[in-house]
């Protein structure tokens, strides 16, 4: 009997090392780390595609790529950034932080956690293989835009479209499993005394985001399955010749796609709501209104999808409904911005790198919000639709919104993760170069869009040259400035040239910061964090 107990004890203490540690890990920190590194890797791949696009657009005419390859690059850039960078980045942060913030020893379903991560490299390996084959002259990568509208993707899509469909299914399965895990963890594993209205805002935003994921991912799965049968099994869901409707595709896609936009921004709202109070030395202003505003945004995200489709032709009453419903989302979003600014009001502010990114987020995300309001106005949208104005709008939301939120989170929490402080000077260099260049990159797109430059076209009229050159210069500076972040992260992890982090890294408002029993990374804590 004692031998059995001893053997069991040895198994319990066994920790895999080397590659096995990462392949088979069920530790939420290891899995969170893998998600974050995967996201960072995809950022450089997707960003490289964007730089080829911007190099082509530096001047009119065709320089580097033909229109067919240009379409493949824009398609894969969008898919990689949405599904390969922003979403895995946020899931990595959720894996790392939610158990620590609610006092749980790990995620509720650790083996499923491992599986949901490892589906992602398989999915993106499949997707990127089509680009490799295209570059080798063995076919074409998906070339129909990241929204893969039928009939471009069904009737006219290349053979690699079936790879793309399988890849999207794998991403969807991964997302649904991750969301189930987050919900199960938050509902079942909160520390005693932590009621829902005592949870950190980051936990709340992910709780709501996880429900959104479970609601909309099956719709995406359904629409790509219908694509698959239209392409291979003789159905005609989206073919008018067989009694189907191409516009049905757009309704289904955007019923998934618009909540997806909020899936990509709500966790950022949570991150900013953790950072602003800490560096203002005040509690968040209007905690409960933040929770209700997040819930309102999630609900409204389901009833605005057709604002992407005003130019498909719909009854005026329908246009009015979607116009006013879209404008309504500005109200809870405005509540959040008001609460963040009110938290800073009369606070003892300091401007470390996470706070700089958080403040930039508020300004620049708000620009994206205002241009979104412009796009919600039906007659105006007829002019803006499919121009670079739309490109500028959603990049202000997803780059200076979602991506800047991830940057802020990395600087805010990396001392907790590694036990070492990052290099503050490098952090500030990264912030200023990124913030200036991202505006040089995307702000001119508003002007060329308003003047009528269409998106997804590799050539353009001479009158747009100067603004495109400015944008391309901004793109290259912004792209290469991310190497500063990479260097800073590696330097912090190695910890030789940086100071050690204290157990209370940021001197926040009393009761705001949860404390770790030890700054040592990657090991399960026996004592849960203190909940104040």
The question of whether 116 is a catalytic residue gets the answer no
- Which residue of the set 25, 39, 174, 278 is catalytic? 174
The question of whether 147 is a catalytic residue gets the answer no
> Residue 420 pLDDT more than 70?
yes
The structural domains of the chain, ordered by start, are 3-515 (1.20.210.10)
Joined tokens for residue 458? 């590799």
- Place 516 in a pLDDT band, splitting at 50, 70 and 90: very low
The question of whether 146 is a catalytic residue gets the answer yes
Joined tokens for residue 78? 């969008």
DSSP string for residues in 428-481 = HHHHHHHHHHHHHHHHHHHHHHHTTPBSS-S---GGGHHHHHHHHHHHHHHHHH
> Residue 514 pLDDT more than 80?
no
pLDDT in tens, 312-343: 999 999 999 999 999 999 999 999 999 999 99
Q: Supply the pLDDT for residue 376.
A: 97
What lies within 8 Å, CB to CB, of 449 at 6+ separation is: 384, 387, 388, 389, 390, 391, 392, 455
- Which residue of the set 336, 395, 416, 446 is catalytic? 336
Q: Supply the pLDDT for residue 508.
A: 57
Given a contact cutoff of 8 angstroms between Cβ atoms, the answer to whether 118 and 44 are in contact is: no
What lies within 8 Å, CB to CB, of 331 at 6+ separation is: 296
pLDDT in tens, 46-80: 999 999 999 999 999 999 999 999 999 999 999 99
The question of whether 175 is a catalytic residue gets the answer yes
Given a contact cutoff of 8 angstroms between Cβ atoms, the answer to whether 75 and 142 are in contact is: yes
- Positive or negative CA dihedral for 162, 163, 168, 169? positive
The question of whether 333 is a catalytic residue gets the answer yes
> Residue 9 pLDDT more than 50?
no
Helix pair 266-280, 287-300: axis angle to 10 deg: 160
- Which residue of the set 106, 230, 381, 513 is catalytic? 106
Q: Supply the pLDDT for residue 14.
A: 60
- Which residue of the set 206, 262, 340, 422 is catalytic? 262
The question of whether 385 is a catalytic residue gets the answer no
- Which residue of the set 28, 29, 307, 395 is catalytic? 307
SS3 (DSSP) at 117: helix
The question of whether 292 is a catalytic residue gets the answer no
- Place 18 in a pLDDT band, splitting at 50, 70 and 90: confident
Q: How far apart are CA 253 and CA 260, in angstroms?
A: 10
The question of whether 308 is a catalytic residue gets the answer yes
> Residue 4 pLDDT more than 80?
no
Q: How far apart are CA 274 and CA 291, in angstroms?
A: 13
Q: Supply the pLDDT for residue 517.
A: 40
The question of whether 532 is a catalytic residue gets the answer no
The question of whether 262 is a catalytic residue gets the answer yes
Q: Supply the pLDDT for residue 487.
A: 97
SS3 (DSSP) at 387: strand
Q: How far apart are CA 30 and CA 481, in angstroms?
A: 27
């Amino acid at each position: 009997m004692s031998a059995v107990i001893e053997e069991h004890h040895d198994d319990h203490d066994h920790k895999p090392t080397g590659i096995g540690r990462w392949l088979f890990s069920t530790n939420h920190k290891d899995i969170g780390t893998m998600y974050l590194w995967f996201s960072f890797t995809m950022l450089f791949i997707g960003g490289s595609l964007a730089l080829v696009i911007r190099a082509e657009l530096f001047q009119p005419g065709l320089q580097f790529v033909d229109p067919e390859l240009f379409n493949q690059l824009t398609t894969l850039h969008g898919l990689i950034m949405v599904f390969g960078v922003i979403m895995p980045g946020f899931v990595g942060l959720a894996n790392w932080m939610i158990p620590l913030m609610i006092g749980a020893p790990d995620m509720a379903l650790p083996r499923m956690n491992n599986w949901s991560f490892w589906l992602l490299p398989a999915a993106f390996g499949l997707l990127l293989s089509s680009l490799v084959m295209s570059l080798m002259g063995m076919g074409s990568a998906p070339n129909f835009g990241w929204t893969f509208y039928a009939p471009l993707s069904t009737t006219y899509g290349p053979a690699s479209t079936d790879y793309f469909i399988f890849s999207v299914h794998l991403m969807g399965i991964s997302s649904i499993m991750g969301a189930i895990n987050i919900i199960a963890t938050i509902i079942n594993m909160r520390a005693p005394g932590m009621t829902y209205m005592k949870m950190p805002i980051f936990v709340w935003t992910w709780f709501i985001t996880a429900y959104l994921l479970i609601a909309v991912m099956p719709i995406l799965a359904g629409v790509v399955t219908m694509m698959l049968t239209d392409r291979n099994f003789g159905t005609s869901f989206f073919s008018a010749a067989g009694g189907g409707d191409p516009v049905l595709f757009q309704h289904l896609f955007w019923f998934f796609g618009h909540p997806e936009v909020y899936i990509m921004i709500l966790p950022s709202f949570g991150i900013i709501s953790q950072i602003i109070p800490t560096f203002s030395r005040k509690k968040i202003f209007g905690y409960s209104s933040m929770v209700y505003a997040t819930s309102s945004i999630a609900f409204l995200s389901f009833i605005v999808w057709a604002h992407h489709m005003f130019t498909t032709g719909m009854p005026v009453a329908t246009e009015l409904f979607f116009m006013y419903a879209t404008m309504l989302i500005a109200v809870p979003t405005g509540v959040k911005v008001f609460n963040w600014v009110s938290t800073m009001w009369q606070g003892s502010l300091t401007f470390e790198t996470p706070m700089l990114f958080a403040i930039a987020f508020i300004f620049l995300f708000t620009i994206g919000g205002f241009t979104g309001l412009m796009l919600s106005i039906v007659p105006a949208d007829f002019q803006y639709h499919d121009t670079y104005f739309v490109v500028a709008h959603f990049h202000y939301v997803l780059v200076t919104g979602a991506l800047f939120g991830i940057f802020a989170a990395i600087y805010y929490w990396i001392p907790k993760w590694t036990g070492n402080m990052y290099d503050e000077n490098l952090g500030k260099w990264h912030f200023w170069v990124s913030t200036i260049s991202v505006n040089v990159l995307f702000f001119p797109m508003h002007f060329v869009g308003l003047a009528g430059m269409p998106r997804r076209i590799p050539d353009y009229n001479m009158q747009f040259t100067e603004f495109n050159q400015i944008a391309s210069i901004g793109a290259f500076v912004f792209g290469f400035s991310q190497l500063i972040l990479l260097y800073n992260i590696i330097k912090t992890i190695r910890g030789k040239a940086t100071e050690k982090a204290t157990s209370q890294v940021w001197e926040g408002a009393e009761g705001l910061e949860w404390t770790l029993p030890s700054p040592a990374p990657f090991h399960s804590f026996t004592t849960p964090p203190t909940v104040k």
